Amino acid sequence: MKLPERGTSQEEVLERMRERKAADADWEGGRTWSLVYPAGEEVDEMLRAANELYLFENALNPFRFPSLRTMEDEVCAMTANLLHAPDSFGGAMTSGGTESILMAVKAARDRAVAEKGIENPQALVPYSAHPAFAKACKYLGLEHVQIPLDDDRRADVSAAAKLIGDRTALVVGSAPNYPFGVIDPIPELAALAAERGINFHTDACLGGFLLPFLEDLGEDIPPFDFRVPGVMTISADVHKYGYCTKGASVITHREKAQLHEYQLFVYDAWPGGMYGSFAMAGARPAAPIAAAWSIMNFLGREGYQKLARVIRETTDTLRSGIEAIPELSIWADPVMGVFSFGSEKIDIMAVCDVMDERGWHLDRQTGPDALHMMVSPGHAKVVDAFLADLRRAALHHGTSKGAEARYS
Ligand SMILES: Cc1ncc(COP(=O)(O)O)c(C=O)c1O
């Protein structure tokens, strides 16, 4: 395909885009269970306005756009506070969970090399942790060592204790993990790392902006944040349960000195002047910073608590609805609105085929086979319809792929 010789009118360009977009997932109707975290029209309106206001700026140079610098500092400070960081904390915004994790792995590696002289560093990462850790290890030259899971599908601490060694530069736990929605035994894993003077990272990309509010509502949340000794860095995504548009995550360090020593990149050996950056990107869009700041202020603690309550109620309805279907089981005991379910009796992938045909988009996972759900406030309105379709799919169509023909 070649760049068109002549331009096209705005009206026609938009029309063509709308046509293509019609085939995309219907997240606004609550039919998808991942990727977008719908939280209602008021939230969307705030995000549209904030994005619009900062569409063209560049967050590379904070001195040119001091408003962006202030907003980024405030997003980091509010996040650190939610995660109970001490006053010594340091934080930076990145483009998403993967970039925050890359920076956490880099900081841990550089600390281990500088302070302990570790050569050929390793990272100990639960089998259920997000692939971003494997990616970071591959990019940054660490060996990626997987910690097996226990019967609750949490990282097995005794296995981790056997795996940790002189080359370990980082230990990781998730709060919660993506596949099963359970929180790893963070205090025990962090203690293993702290005893050896190496970093422990909590991946709270999913939980960072939801677990604190479930705790506010009186729920018993297993320890995962900076209240746990030894937790040195935490990733928390504003663009997941913080409800921000995409491109916003925060990496928080317990010690600001480590952020500066092991994460910051500074360079002046070229003719272009001093260049500094806290993460992978050079030029950075301003809109995600503005959107993150706007939504955190727009919702406030009270707004997030309200949305957390909706997620809790919606998840409870879904869980009991799924558990009432004799063919289906929820794997593990999920802590928030992220979980997966499968079956020991029927072919869960065939159930998914039928659900796909009914317009529900669930992510498929293996090990064990399961369908994955991430509940957002926007799903409250579709729970009953979803469960009705799931019941019929499990009852009539769970046994074979060809069974759709029997669907009435
Ligand atoms: C637990 C967890 N960590 C990290 C990530 C990576 O986040 P991103 O897709 O924003 O890079 C995800 C994404 O779903 C996740 O679920």
HSE toward the beta carbon, residue 132, CA cutoff 13 A: 22
Q: 287-323 vs 66-82: helix axis angle to the nearest 10?
A: 30
CA of 392 to the centre of ligand 1 (A): 32
- Mapped to the 3 state alphabet, what secondary structure does the chain carry? CCCCCCCCCHHHHHHHHHHHHCCCCCCCCCCECCCCCCCCHHHHHHHHHHHHHCCCCECCCCCCCHHHHHHHHHHHHHHHHHCCCCCCCEEEEECCHHHHHHHHHHHHHHHHHHHHCCCCCEEEEECCCCCHHHHHHHHHCCEEEEECECCCCCECHHHHHHHCCCCEEEEEEECCCCCCCCCCCHHHHHHHHHHCCCEEEEECCCCCCCHHHHHHCCCCCCCCCCCCCCEEEEEEECCCCCCCCCCCEEEEECCHHHHHHHHCEEECCCCCCCEEECCCCCCCECHHHHHHHHHHHHHHHHHHHHHHHHHHHHHHHHHHHHHCCCCCEEECCCCCCEEEEECCCCCHHHHHHHHHHCCCECEEECCCCEEEEECCHHHHHHHHHHHHHHHHHHHHHCCCHHHHHHCC
- The percentage of the chain sitting over the pLDDT mark of 70, rounded to a whole number, equals 97
Residue 403 banded pLDDT, cuts 50, 70, 90: very low
Residue 147 banded pLDDT, cuts 50, 70, 90: very high
Region 39-49 average pLDDT: 97
Q: Provide φ and ψ at 281, rounded to 5°.
A: -70, 150
Query: Which of 36, 45, 19 has its CA nearest to residue 298?
Result: 45
Query: Which of 390, 398, 397 has its CA nearest to residue 347?
Result: 398
CA of 130 to the centre of ligand 1 (A): 6
Which of 32, 178, 184, 373 best tests ligand 1's pocket when mutated (most atoms within 8 Å of CB)? Answer: 178
CA of 237 to the centre of ligand 1 (A): 8
Residue 302 banded pLDDT, cuts 50, 70, 90: very high
Residue 402 has pLDDT above 50, yes or no: no
Query: Which of 72, 89, 69, 94 has its CA nearest to residue 278?
Result: 94
Ligand 1 contact via 241 beta carbon (within 6 Å): no
Ligand 1 contact via 132 beta carbon (within 6 Å): yes
Residue 367 banded pLDDT, cuts 50, 70, 90: confident
Query: Domains in the chain, start-ordered, CATH in brackets?
Result: 10-39+307-406 (3.90.1150.10), 47-296 (3.40.640.10)
Ligand 1 contact via 96 beta carbon (within 6 Å): yes
**Alpha carbon distance 84, 21 (integer Å):** 41
Residue nearest to atom 9 of ligand 1 (CA): 97
Region 382-398 average pLDDT: 89
Cis peptide before 126 (omega within 30 of 0): no
Cβ–Cβ < 8 Å for 234, 252:
yes
Ligand 1 contact via 95 beta carbon (within 6 Å): no
Residue nearest to atom 13 of ligand 1 (CA): 97
Ligand 1 contact via 94 beta carbon (within 6 Å): no
Ligand 1 contact via 372 beta carbon (within 6 Å): no
pLDDT at res. 25:
87
Q: 97-116 vs 132-140: helix axis angle to the nearest 10?
A: 50
Structure tokens at 407: 């669907």
Ligand 1 contact via 178 beta carbon (within 6 Å): yes
Distances in Å between the Cα of 353 and the Cα atoms of 24, 105, 359, 364, 384 are 17, 38, 10, 10, 19
CA of 98 to the centre of ligand 1 (A): 6
Which of 37, 93, 98 best tests ligand 1's pocket when mutated (most atoms within 8 Å of CB)? Answer: 98
Residue 407 has pLDDT above 80, yes or no: no
Which is the closest atom of ligand 1 to the Cα of 34? 14
Ligand 1 contact via 98 beta carbon (within 6 Å): yes
**Alpha carbon distance 330, 322 (integer Å):** 8
pLDDT at res. 115:
96
CA of 176 to the centre of ligand 1 (A): 11
pLDDT at res. 399:
52
CA of 205 to the centre of ligand 1 (A): 6
CA of 10 to the centre of ligand 1 (A): 35
Region 45-51 average pLDDT: 98
Q: 41-53 vs 287-323: helix axis angle to the nearest 10?
A: 160
Residue 90 has pLDDT above 60, yes or no: yes
Structure tokens at 100: 């925050």
Residue 408 has pLDDT above 60, yes or no: no
Residue 400 has pLDDT above 60, yes or no: no
Which of 36, 139, 237 best tests ligand 1's pocket when mutated (most atoms within 8 Å of CB)? Answer: 237
